[in-house]
Structures are given as structure tokens and as C-alpha cells.
Amino acid sequence: MLGVFQTSQKLRTSLRLLSRAGLPPVDLQVQLLLRGRSPQSATFSRELHLGPDGPASSPAAAPRRLPFSRVTVEDLTFFGKTLPGRAITDPDLVQSSNEDWLKSVRGSSEVLLRPQTTQEVSQILSYCHSRNLAVNSQGGNTGLVGGSVPVYDEIILSTSLMNSILSFDKISGILTCQAGCVLENLSLYLEERDYIMPLDLGAKGSCQIGGNVATNAGGLRLLRYGSLHGTVLGLEVVLADGRVLDCLSTLRKDNTGYDLKQLFIGSEGTLGVITAVSILCPRKPKSVNVVFLGCETFDQLLKTFQLCKGMLGEILSAFEFLDSECMRLLNTHLKLANPISDCPFYIVIETSGSDSDHDSQKLHNFLEEAMTSLLVTDGTVATEESKIKTLWSMRERVTEALTHDGFTYKYDISLPVERIYQLVTDMREHLGKRARSVVGYGHVGDGNLHLNVTSPAKDPALLASIEPFIYEWTAKFQGSISAEHGLGLKKRNYIYYSKSRPAVAVMGKMKTLLDPKGILNPYKTLPDDLK
């Protein structure tokens, strides 16, 4: 019924009426699963995921709208006065912020606010808290689990204009900046000063550091520099009632009381709005090498990883993999040629060090060993910037290639490293001809698999075959159903596959403590059965 989206008055009115009725407006990916599901999986699901609408709705679909206030003319006047020229209600401008990057979920917010300072964020939240208005904080809107866009008419609070770098200490490498700085811009700023950001991801051209911290983004460099839980030194957060929590320390070590910032890292905007970040940045490596290798079996790939850690150890900065299906998609849809011969598995290894002579020697020894012991059947090395970019794009552009292959179902799983590819083979067998492509790729060095399934069009029956099969498989091996993408809207009710009930109950208590009215990013991250 809501297949085509035009910003016509009629449609908007009907949308408003529908959302008033409490029905989920649009969750394109998971409309009416019920028909496709086997009775057995429905029962299992019912036990774990009692949604407020009962067993009739899917765990990923949005729940009914909670009784928040609706935006009035008085509210708009306040916003207009607090943020002159930056309280946007023009539907054409608000539209793109209502829909996620994958075009899989869309909200019906009518207000987009763009503060420039922490003070403005504080004023907005204080007001919304008093008026019981729901707020959706939004950075670069590159999230993949429907967490960055409104579900209903939540006010969108964008950090895009909070893009100033506040300070950079050349000696310690500590960068302090506002939450809306785009990751790539921070990288360029640092590279000129001989430093780099401790994280890097495909979305770097659009994602903002506040969003990265709120989702505890992982990325391609985690293997070397660790997670944001380690590299973030301080945060400035505005709480649900507008109070500013200044934990923007730039100290490497500070054991004075509970480390509050850790709560907000990965909280997906549900405990507070991050407005500034101080982060520890590593020095820019003088010597970077990228190696693209081909392996016959996943077992050989794992052995290569072992060899790599042993012989390259301290200079290893990335270890990624992709399978032959990914290569096929890159060749077909993006016309990217395979740099080496066709193999079942491909590895991208990156080394970063301070001495190119030493690193080339280490790399040469490793490659010689890998080849003579037949762990690797083919490969190529790049030391030049331009070639390095080309080899990396083989891994970084798989996501893009998938979008050209049809409708994509994306999964981001953490598993014991030995089991990673077994999930892909089992899924292929399980789905058979129903799926167009089933591909596996990702941060194998971190035990993180990106499993994607494509079909010509959205297919509820296919989805019913994938879920909860994939989550049950993951839970069986004590893995994580969301390694780095977070829970957002789509995966909130699957949390019990990876976390125990007591743990989730404590999470619920924290949420109540910091956001008693529940106005920050409602309907997300925590499961619906926590009331």
C-alpha cells in the first residue's frame, strides 16, 4: 500500500493518520512475515521475543507508537527561535533524513533540527524532555540496522553542523572534536600532521565520529588499533533532560570513579546525545604494504592467518577476506578485474610500520614461506599508494557490488574464527535455489563475518528461511548476532540470542535511570519486552 513515496499532501496526511492508528508505517524489509514462517520457528520466536503486538508481528518490525507528544506550532516556534534558520520543516529537505542508506526503513518525522553547539543541543533536549517529545539523534545516516532514522514522527536531531575540530595535541596525538565531524575529514586533517584516525570504514566519506562512537564502530583497522572503547579518551554527552555531562578528558589514564563514557560508547543514542569526542590517534605509518592473496580452502586461509601473525605480528594492521562469490559480483557489477587468478578465497593483508626496508624484508619472508608451504596459490603486493587503493577497493566495494545484485539481506556475525565460513556453506545449502547469491566476507582477523544474501526482489519467504536460522546457528556457537553493526530497530528483539536475560534487565535499568521518559531513540536497541 505504501510502495511509492511521493511527498504529496494526500499521502502525508494518510501517513499521519496511519501512524496515529499506531500501525508501523514502513518497514520495507519485514512487512508481513507471518505467512512465510514455519509453525516451529514461530513458536521458538514467541518464547524469546514477545512483541507488544503478540506473535502476529515479526521481531524486526516496529512496535506500536508510544504515547509521546506530537509537534505543535508552539514547538516549531521555539525551535525556530533557538536554531534560527536551522529548524527545518520543508518536507523535501526532511525526506532524506527519514530514510536509511539501504533504503530499507523510513520514518515520518516532520522536523529536522541542526544545532551547531552543545548549548543548543542542551536547550533542545531540555525542551523536548519537558514536552515529552521523542528525539532521534542522527549523524551521517550510514547505519545498517535502521537505528539512524525515525520510526514514527520523532524529531531528527542532526549533528551535521557540529563539525569543528576543537584541538589537536601533536605530541600525544589526542584529537578533540565535535560529534558531527566526518571521519574522512578527520583523517585528512590528521594525515597532514603525520597522524591517522584509529578507525577506518567503507562509509568514511559520510559517517560522523559521534555516530561512530555511539555505535562503537569497528572497521578495517580494529585488528591493529583496537576498538573505540580503548581509543576514546573522553566524551561530552547531553542527557535526556538537557544536562550536559562533561567527561571530555584528554588523559590517557584516569582511574577516578566509574568510567561513564564506556556506557555511551555503543549505546546507539539511547542513553544520551554525544556532542564532542576526544580520541587517541596513532602516528601515520611510514611504510604501508597491501598484499592480495588467493587460497584454495578456508582452512588454508586460517593457517595463513596464523603464519601472518607469527611472521608479521607487530606490523600487521588488517586481515580481511572475501570469497569467490564476492569476486564474481565485483567483476560483474563494478567491472573490477581480479588482480590475481581465480581462487575460492581471497585475503587482503595490510602492514603498517615505521621502516620500509624492515617491513619489506618481513613481508618477503612471510610471502616466501606462505608460497613454499602451498598455503597460498597466488597473490600480488602493492607498495604504491595508487595500487594500494585499488587492492583495498576489492574488499571495500563488496557492499556496493551487492546493492547491484538485487535486494540484500545483511548479517554481521561474530563467531569463533574456525567456524566463520561454515555458516556461509550451511546457509547456501539451507537456502538452495531460493537465493540469488550468498556471499561471505569480512574482518576474519577479528572473527567477524559479513554474510549477505541477495534475491531479485524483497522476498518474505526467503527472509523467513534466513531468520531465525542464522541467529540460532550463531547462538549455538556462542557468537554475536551483531558484531559491529549494532541492534538499532531491526535487531533489537534478537538480543537474547547473544545476551542473557539478567544482563538485558540491567541494561533496561540503566535506560530508565538516564532516560526515564524514554525520549531518546525510542523503539531501538533494547527489546520490546522490557517495559
Q: What is the spatial distance between Cα 39 and Cα 45, in angstroms, rounded to a whole number? A: 10
In angstroms, what is the minimal distance from the CB of 325 to other proteins?
A: 21
Question: Which of 368, 472 has the CB closer to other proteins?
Answer: 368
In this structure, are strands 287-295 and 345-353 parallel, antiparallel, or unpaired? antiparallel
| 385 counts as binding other proteins under rule CB under 8 A | yes
Ramachandran region of residue 518, left (φ > 0), alpha (ψ -120 to 50) or beta? left
Report whether the peptide linkage leading into residue 39 is cis, meaning its omega lies within 30 degrees of zero: no
Residue 477 phi, psi dihedral angles, 5° rounding: -105, 25
Range in contact with other proteins (rule: CB under 8 A) among 18-26, 335-343, 421-429, 493-501: 335-343
Q: What is the spatial distance between Cα 316 and Cα 326, in angstroms, rounded to a whole number? A: 24
Q: Which residues ranging from 242 to 301 are in contact with other proteins (CB under 8 A)?
A: 286, 292-293
Residue 155 phi, psi dihedral angles, 5° rounding: -70, 130
Residue 408 phi, psi dihedral angles, 5° rounding: -110, 130
In angstroms, what is the minimal distance from the CB of 362 to other proteins?
A: 15
In this structure, are strands 155-158 and 135-138 parallel, antiparallel, or unpaired? parallel
Site mask for other proteins (CB under 8 A), range 407-446, x = bound: ----------------------------------------
Binding test (CB under 8 A) with other proteins, winner from 387, 397, 458, 499? 387
Q: How big is the site for other proteins, counted in residues (CB under 8 A)?
A: 23
Binding test (CB under 8 A) with other proteins, winner from 143, 210, 272, 379? 379
Range in contact with other proteins (rule: CB under 8 A) among 65-73, 302-310, 371-379, 515-523: 371-379
DSSP string, 207-250: -BHHHHHHTT---TTHHHH--HHHHEEEEEEE-TTS-EEEE---
Cβ(224)–Cβ(200) below 8 Å = no
Binding test (CB under 8 A) with other proteins, winner from 149, 235, 248, 376? 376
| 86 counts as binding other proteins under rule CB under 8 A | no
Sheet holding 155-158, edge to edge: 87-88, 112-113, 155-158, 135-138
Binding test (CB under 8 A) with other proteins, winner from 340, 417, 431, 510? 340
Number of C-alpha atoms within 13 angstroms, CB side, residue 406? Answer: 14
| 369 counts as binding other proteins under rule CB under 8 A | no
Which among 57, 58, 68 is positioned nearest to 19, based on CA atoms?
Answer: 68
| 371 counts as binding other proteins under rule CB under 8 A | yes
Binding test (CB under 8 A) with other proteins, winner from 311, 381, 431, 510? 381
Binding test (CB under 8 A) with other proteins, winner from 339, 344, 508, 518? 339
| 307 counts as binding other proteins under rule CB under 8 A | no
Range in contact with other proteins (rule: CB under 8 A) among 95-103, 159-167, 168-176, 362-370: 362-370
Binding footprint of other proteins on the chain (CB under 8 A) = 286, 292-293, 337, 339-341, 364, 367-368, 371, 376, 378-387, 389
